[in-house]
Structure formats: structure tokens, C-alpha cells
């Protein structure tokens, strides 16, 4: 399983996001559908769930560093490339944006 670090920015309710971010700690990890920005939306063939485990809050409670990995073993793990941007969805609702951290950062 490929695991990467990412920066997550939770979208505020005033912009259509969650009332507050998930806890992001404990088991099971928070997991939801991921959309990589350059891929079509809605997904053409399948959607994948990404697990997000909070490491720490950054400048606000809605901006985190986190460890991310796909839930399913058969997921496209090579999609977790350094610098790649993504969005997190709960149903049709976009709740967060993120970026996979570069290895040198």
C-alpha cells in the first residue's frame, strides 16, 4: 500500500463544505471519495476512497497535514504522485481540497 503525506484544506460551510472537519484521528480512519483534479468528474469508470489520517493542524483547524492512502488494495496507487492536487467528496458535495506533498518538502 502506498502512503503519502498531504496538505488538506477543509471547505467551510459558507462555501458548501462541512460544518466542521472530521476528527481525522483514531480507527477506522476517515475515508471518502477522492477526485484528482486532472481526471474527469464524475468518474468515468470507478471512484476510489482515500483514507485520511490527521497529523496536525496548520494555520487553522481546517488546514491539516495528513497521511493519505487508498482504502482498496486494487486502487491506482500510482495516482498518489508528489505535487498532485485532489478534491474530497461526500456524495456530490466537495468537502476539501488537497495536494500530495513533494518528497523534498
Domain boundaries, the chain: 4-100
pLDDT band with cut points at 50, 70 and 90 for residue 80: very high
Task: Give me the mean pLDDT over the 8-22 stretch.
Answer: 94
Residue 40: the pLDDT is: 66
Q: Which residues neighbour 4 within 8 Å (Cβ) at sequence distance 6 or greater?
A: 67, 68, 69, 80, 82, 100, 101
For 48, half-sphere exposure in the C-beta direction (CA atoms, 13 angstrom radius) is 20
Residue 104: the pLDDT is: 59
pLDDT digits (tens, 9 = 90+) for 21-56: 998 888 888 999 999 988 766 666 778 999 999 999
Q: Does domain 4-100 have CATH number 2.40.50.100?
A: no
Task: Give me the mean pLDDT over the 87-100 stretch.
Answer: 95
Amino acid at each position: 500500500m502506498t502512503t503519502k503525506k498531504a496538505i488538506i484544506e477543509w471547505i467551510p460551510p459558507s462555501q458548501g463544505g462541512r460544518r466542521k472537519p472530521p476528527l481525522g484521528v483514531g480507527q477506522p480512519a476517515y475515508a471518502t471519495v477522492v477526485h484528482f483534479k486532472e481526471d474527469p468528474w464524475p468518474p468515468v469508470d470507478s471512484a476510489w476512497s482515500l483514507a485520511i489520517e490527521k497529523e496536525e493542524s496548520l494555520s487553522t483547524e481546517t488546514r491539516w497535514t495528513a497521511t493519505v492512502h487508498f482504502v482498496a488494495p486494487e486502487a491506482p496507487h500510482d495516482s498518489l504522485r508528489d505535487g498532485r492536487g485532489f478534491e474530497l467528496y461526500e456524495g456530490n458535495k466537495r468537502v476539501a481540497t488537497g495536494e500530495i506533498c513533494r518528497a523534498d518538502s
